Amino acid sequence: QVQVVESGGGVVQPGRSLRLSCAASGFSFNNFDMNWVRQAPGKGLEWVAIIWYDGSNKYYADSVRGRFTISRDNSKNTLYLQINSLRDEDTAVYYCARRRHRSTWDIDYWGQGVLVTVSS
């Protein structure tokens, strides 16, 4: 069955960096575009970034462009999110999420999420 499992979260000081990982299994990872979506505590969902199935293109929300970098290693079936210069407002659960099909814009599988807490 399709599974995506995030890791790498924790408590980080403001200004520091963090890299999140997402291990995928149960599907042909290299055939699917992948997203990161975050959710601040008690708040709504916020789309963060998407990367094409082959890593050739990456797109970001305005709120994170320049500080976040999405990447993937198809040989390891793993998606990454590098977060630099962490801010208080980056505190959130970060979800790894699969784009259902390249002809549409929706998400059919989500991980359980990983919590990032920015605090001094």
Where does this chain bind another protein (CB under 8 A)? 35, 37, 44-47, 50, 57, 59-62, 95, 100, 104-108, 110-113
Nearer to another protein, 15 or 26 (CB): 26
Nearer to another protein, 13 or 41 (CB): 41
Distance, CA of 58 to CA of 87 (rounded, Å): 22
In the complex, the smallest distance separating the C-beta of residue 60 from another protein, rounded to whole angstroms, is 8
In the complex, the smallest distance separating the C-beta of residue 15 from another protein, rounded to whole angstroms, is 26
Nearer to another protein, 44 or 66 (CB): 44
Long-range Cβ pairs for the range 38-44 (8 Å, 24+): 38/90, 38/92, 38/93, 38/94, 38/95, 39/92, 39/93, 39/95, 39/113, 40/89, 40/91, 40/92, 41/91, 41/92, 41/93, 43/92
In the complex, the smallest distance separating the C-beta of residue 71 from another protein, rounded to whole angstroms, is 16
Nearer to another protein, 76 or 102 (CB): 102
